[in-house]
Amino acid sequence: MQRERRWYRALEAHSIILSILVLCWIAVIWVDVFWQSSPNEWPLWYLLFLDNGIVEHLAWLTLAATSLMAVHAGTLHGLSGQSVTARFWRWYAVGVMLLLIEDSGDTSFQVRFYINALFGTNLSTFAGRAPVFGGLAAVMVIIVLVHRDVWFADPMLRRPLLLGFVLYGVASTMSIPLNLFIDNAYFRIGDALFSGVFRGQMALLPDSFAAAERVSGGWFVESAIEESIEVLGAAFLATVAFRGVRAGHSSVERFTASATDHE
């Protein structure tokens, strides 16, 4: 039983994604700090973490799998007569799918673009994106609060659910508060990381980029840092759904055994 639990833990999304992420960062440190064949080639951190890149695709795949697992968990709990729990998982699937649609389609940017085009306005990035993120956050918070009796008392669900929400929320919206309170926040933080943590040894973007040293810092935070947090958040949300499926199978088995005993 103990061995089976260890296997389940090793196969959970956050364990798998964390292992992949660690390998990605080891590769980045090795290639972009200790081995640089040419300063004009694209750095590995950019290739792995750029917008619409490998790590972001991994986050999308994780969110899609999370939504499917949540639907399955809802079906299983419905079969065992747990209608409230089943409803939570179905709404959880909807909420996660909305996160996937926004992230993969850059919905907040699209909304800002169409509002500016239709009304002749010039909304800032914050004003254009905040309503979309606020709406998504509201949907997820309502789902969680309405069904708090389902997950709050169970640490196996509560811990990864809260951690997933916090990590994904921070990654998705961190640019908004940072840029509100710190001018050119991403560039300043990135420059500090390059000159401080990596002591100026981290590979920069190609010289073809205007002001490459300055741009590299901003891109590094927006891609490598932000995407790392986001994929971890998605992984914990997936772990919640995975555990929901396991609990659903157990509920069906108990329900079936009970029905057989009554016969």
**Tokens matching residue 187:** 């560039």
Q: What's the pLDDT at 262?
A: 55
Q: Where are the domains of the chain?
A: 2-262
Distance between CA atoms of residues 4 and 208, nearest Å: 53
Q: Which of 52, 51, 46 is nearest to 209 (CA)?
A: 46
**Could you tell me the pLDDT band of residue 45, with boundaries at 50, 70 and 90?**
very high
pLDDT tens for residues 121-168?
776 666 666 777 788 889 999 999 999 999 998 999 999 999 999 999
What's the angle, vertex CA 50, arms to CA 134 and CA 12, rounded to 5?
70
Q: Provide the token pair at 12.
A: 């959970």
What span, in angstroms and rounded, lies between the C-alpha atoms of 191 and 185? 10
Q: What is the pLDDT of residue 127?
A: 63
Mean pLDDT of the chain: 85
Tens of pLDDT, residue by residue over 230-254, are 999 999 999 999 999 999 999 888 8
